[in-house]
Chains A and B, each alone.
Chain A
Amino acid sequence: MTGLDRFLDSFFNLRVAVEYLPKIIDGFWLTILLAFCIILSGLAAGLALAVLRSLGIRPVNWLIIFVVDLFRALPPLVIIVLLYFGLPAAGLSISGFASAWLSLALVLMAFSEEIFWAGITAVPRGQWEAARSTGLTFAATLGHVVLPQAVRMVVPPLTNRTIAITKGTALASVVAVPEILGAAQAGVSFSFNPTPLTLGALAYVVLFFPVVILGRWIETRFAWKR
């Protein structure tokens, strides 16, 4: 066998590829499900915290800032492992999927709270004053006047951050979630051939390339002209 043959046999072995493709495809859908759960709950929680922060209740804001900084400081893998192996010790068992979901959602919550908050504070004071002077309540002003502008302003950084954190779904492989990377690694250890990893990489490209393109499009689309 020449070096090239060996390389092709290792990474592009057709027999192995055919055998493990279904597992990788399962992993693909699982990754999408996990990503979807993370994005939905993470962004919702981040927005909720930013809104809560805008109420300006001092002790509440200190707590929010502490939580946000904590989850921005901790490596996501540490949070996943801590939840997965730590919670059972405290009598609460948690699935690998749930611990990955919860961990990455918390991280996305923390980062998106900061981004939403930056957007809210970037809306000029005059917008609040104009709205309140017409009798709109605080909540109505926030909902109809401030948040639409704030969210629009932060779509580009939010998209980038969301993509980055969503790629962290690969970390779930550590806690035995058969998402793309997990399925690929399992394939490698059963077949003694790294081809499943090639498939995994391809699956990530198929999954994230459109997302990155979408992000780029959103960025230009939402470039804010006043």
Chain B
Amino acid sequence: MCLGVPGKIVDIDGDIATVDFWGVRRQVRLDIIDEPAAVGDYILNHVGFAIRRIPEESVAETLSLYEQLMAEAADDAMTSDIRGEIAAASAMAPEKGRA
């Protein structure tokens, strides 16, 4: 449950980013990211929130293990943790509580 998963920002609306995870698009909250992120950046998503902007020079390296794992059977423990992290981001734009 706590692996985190990298994805690429394709759109930003306030505190919410639309992030692409290997073709699956999800909404990820940006409230607690370590530094401002822009469209085109990769972030690490953990339970629906971006916890880090991945520096550009580290993107390829970070993606490689995930790519290998994503290719594995869905019932593998690490693979299912990663899929869980993708599922953690919500499919629709969540309503924000801030009035």
Real binding pair: no
